[in-house]
Amino acid sequence: MRIASVCRSYGNGGGMENVVHDRAEALRALGHEVHIISAPDGLYSDAFAAQCVEGCDRVKPDVICLDSFDGARSWWVERKERVALTLHGTPWSQFFTKWNLWMHAGRREPGASYANMRRMCKIIQQADVVIAISHYEQGLLQDLHGVPDAKCVYNPIAPYFFDTPTVPVPADGYFLCVGNHDVRGFDVAAKAAARAGVPFRVAKGVSREDMVAVYDGCRALVLPTVRPAGYDLTVAEAAARGRPVIVSGVGAYRLDGVPGTCYVPMRDVGAVAEAMGIVGRVHMAPVYASRHKPETHARAWVEAVT
């Protein structure tokens, strides 16, 4: 196939950008032709919509692959090519995140615009193939977004998370949080580590290649998130390195989790501290992360699209 892969931002090391890169490389390894179309400034705009139209006219793809979409400029709706839309978060999952922030973190009451959510659902339904990145989000698409044929294809992570042999969990290792998203509950993890008397680290700005050593140095990944959406790449990366995961028992983490996962209530410092004392020496079998291998993802993606 000739594929036009459209991503709002590319080359800056974000999670979705890594997914687009890893998918493109894996698809090329299978013999497909992949062209990346991204915005120079990383923003949706009239100029980017025009760039997408011009790029697809030039490439003449068999499939246009959208990783999320611009709800204000649906330039792809009337095109003749097959359109595959991957949603890394749906309108309803975004609402549920705001709901949990209100219920458990004292944020303001979510003022949902149901008319706008319905409009977004109508746009989503225009794609030929709609792909979720977890079975949880697949269910949301099927039940709440009017896409009964929605597919599930897990996101890829870089091959070097699998290629390097795993090492035993260090007895003096730290408990690890990765990234800087405010809904991930790193403040809860820090308080829990202090209560449990264990070392704690937040890894930010570390290259993906260097993250292998960061995971290898930890006792467990900690993700007391309130976001019941998608499936965090850090969970897959930790599993690939044989590290257990302490995560809120919500959404995809509960429905798509793997053996070795320790579930905690949202924003419960005491429960996270107790979990730190239980999972500190558990080694998760990396085989459970194999669904996130780039080659596995690429084959599943092609099957979903065709």
Residue 105 is predicted with a pLDDT of 86
Looking at the chain, the domain(s) classified CATH 3.40.50.2000 span 2-157+293-305, 160-289
- Look at residue 63 and tell me whether its pLDDT is greater than 90: yes
Determine the 3-state secondary structure of 63 from DSSP: strand
Determine the 3-state secondary structure of 194 from DSSP: helix
Residue 68 is predicted with a pLDDT of 87
pLDDT per residue as tens digits for the range 131-153 = 999 999 999 999 999 999 999 99
Residue 260 is predicted with a pLDDT of 74
pLDDT per residue as tens digits for the range 251-264 = 999 988 877 789 99
Residue 281 is predicted with a pLDDT of 64
User: pTM score, two decimals?
Assistant: 0.94
Fold classified for 2-157+293-305? Rossmann fold (3.40.50)
- Look at residue 167 and tell me whether its pLDDT is greater than 90: yes
Q: Tell me what the mean pLDDT of segment 12-20 comes to.
A: 83
Domain spanning 160-289 has what CATH number? 3.40.50.2000
**DSSP result, 64-121:** EEEES--TT--TTTT-SSEEEEEESS-HHHHHHHHHHHHHHH--PPP---HHHHHHHH
Report the Cα 213 to chain-centroid distance in Å: 21
Burial of 116 (0-12, 13-18, 19+ CB in 10 A): exposed
Residue 231 is predicted with a pLDDT of 85
Q: Tell me what the mean pLDDT of segment 223-241 comes to.
A: 91
Mean pLDDT (the chain) is: 93
Residue 283 is predicted with a pLDDT of 66
Could you tell me what percent of the chain has a pLDDT over 90? 79
- Look at residue 108 and tell me whether its pLDDT is greater than 80: yes
pLDDT per residue as tens digits for the range 198-215 = 999 999 989 999 999 999
- Look at residue 280 and tell me whether its pLDDT is greater than 70: no
pLDDT per residue as tens digits for the range 66-101 = 998 899 999 999 999 999 999 998 999 889 999 999
CA distance 240 to 263: 18
Burial of 129 (0-12, 13-18, 19+ CB in 10 A): buried
